[in-house]
């Protein structure tokens, strides 16, 4: 039966550059939105202020963070498919990571974690304080459990990838847990610095996700594309600059074959 190939070229450098530029723009617009809301009487400004509100789950920055988390989940799932095809003993950790990031992507716009943490900590463990405190406590426990369960998996990764993952994780946790706890304190004190804290918190979270996406693309490009296999396969080099490409072979009446490979521009 005749096969046909469909491939989409993706430049890892261009992807991370575009995502980084959008993040910088959203943080700038979010800071401007918070400034207008805090220091002027225009809390709505024809709907523009809430549209870029960094402290809202129903805003462009929140939706973009959700999108970035979904991108990371997709890359993790592709890596899982590669590991599964190669019968790697570490295939399931990649799948669970993909599911975790998919859950984080959904949670980014609906804030399930804050309600869950509040119910567990404030209601059942009698810890007083705003929801941010509860989430910081629950999040810290979750991170410790994750490190224990994933320790062996993390240390099997190449050193460069391991460093990338640790840095990305540390930056994200500083925002999602550390600054969230600071925000809880400032909100109780009704501090004028609360807006600044929100900017730093959301900026760190976005930066952490961006670093993780960059780490995943680097891992794929450096270690998986060149290794070959059913999922990630290199193509013949050309004189043009190499790219990372999403490749799909579609045989008739057979399971589709996904792949990432290097192709020329």
Tens-digit pLDDT profile for residues 152-187: 999 999 999 999 999 999 999 998 887 777 776 666
- Over residues 211-239, mean pLDDT: 74
Number of domains within the chain: 1
Residue 2 lies in a domain: no
Helices 131-156, 159-173: axis angle to 10 degrees equals 180
Predicted local distance difference test score (pLDDT) of residue 177: 82
Residue with more model confidence, 122 or 156: 156
Q: What is the mean pLDDT of the chain?
A: 77
The reported pLDDT for the residue numbered 47 is 74
Residue 194's pLDDT is what? 76
Task: Please tell me the pTM assigned to this model.
Answer: 0.79
Cα angle 10-14-16, degrees, rounded to a multiple of 5: 105
Q: What is the mean pLDDT of residues 52-62?
A: 87
Whether residue 189 is contained in a domain is answered as yes
Whether the pLDDT of residue 147 is over 70: the answer is yes
Strand (E) positions, the chain? 3-10, 242-251, 257-264
Question: C-alpha angle with apex 81: 101 to 95, nearest 5 degrees?
Answer: 30
Tell whether 22 is covered by a domain.
Answer: yes
Residue 202: inside a domain = yes
Could you tell me which residue, 125 or 38, shows the higher pLDDT? 38
Residue 180 lies in a domain: yes
Whether 1 is in a domain gets the answer no
Residue 256: what pLDDT?
A: 38
pLDDT at 240: 37
Question: Span 50-77, mean pLDDT?
Answer: 92
Which has the closest alpha carbon to 223: 265, 169, 260? 260
What pLDDT is attached to residue 142? 85
Say if 196 falls within a structural domain.
yes
Domain interval for residue 148: 7-264
């Amino acid at each position: 039966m005749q096969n046909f190939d469909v491939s989409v070229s993706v430049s890892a450098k261009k992807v991370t550059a575009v995502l980084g530029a959008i993040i910088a723009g959203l943080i700038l617009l979010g800071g401007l939105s918070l400034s207008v809301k805090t220091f002027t009487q225009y809390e709505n400004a024809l709907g523009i202020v809430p549209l870029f509100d960094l402290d809202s789950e129903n805003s462009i920055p929140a939706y973009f963070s959700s999108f970035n988390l979904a991108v990371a989940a997709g890359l993790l799932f592709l890596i899982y498919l590669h590991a599964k095809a190669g019968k790697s003993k570490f295939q399931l950790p990649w799948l669970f990571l993909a599911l975790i990031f998919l859950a984080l992507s959904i949670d980014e716009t609906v804030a399930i974690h804050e309600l869950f943490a509040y119910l567990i900590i404030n209601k059942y463990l009698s810890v007083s304080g705003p929801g941010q405190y509860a989430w910081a406590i629950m999040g810290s426990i979750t991170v410790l459990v994750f490190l224990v369960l994933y320790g062996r998996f993390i240390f099997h990764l190449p050193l460069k990838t391991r460093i990338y993952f640790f840095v990305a994780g540390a930056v994200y946790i500083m925002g999602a847990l550390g600054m969230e706890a600071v925000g809880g304190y400032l909100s109780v004190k009704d501090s004028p610095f609360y807006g600044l804290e929100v900017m730093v918190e959301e900026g760190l979270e976005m930066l952490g996700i961006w670093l993780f996406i960059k780490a995943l693309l680097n891992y794929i490009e450096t270690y998986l594309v060149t290794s070959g296999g059913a999922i990630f396969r290199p193509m013949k080099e050309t004189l043009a600059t190499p790219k990372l490409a999403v490749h799909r072979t579609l045989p008739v009446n057979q399971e589709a074959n996904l792949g990432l490979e290097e192709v020329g521009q």
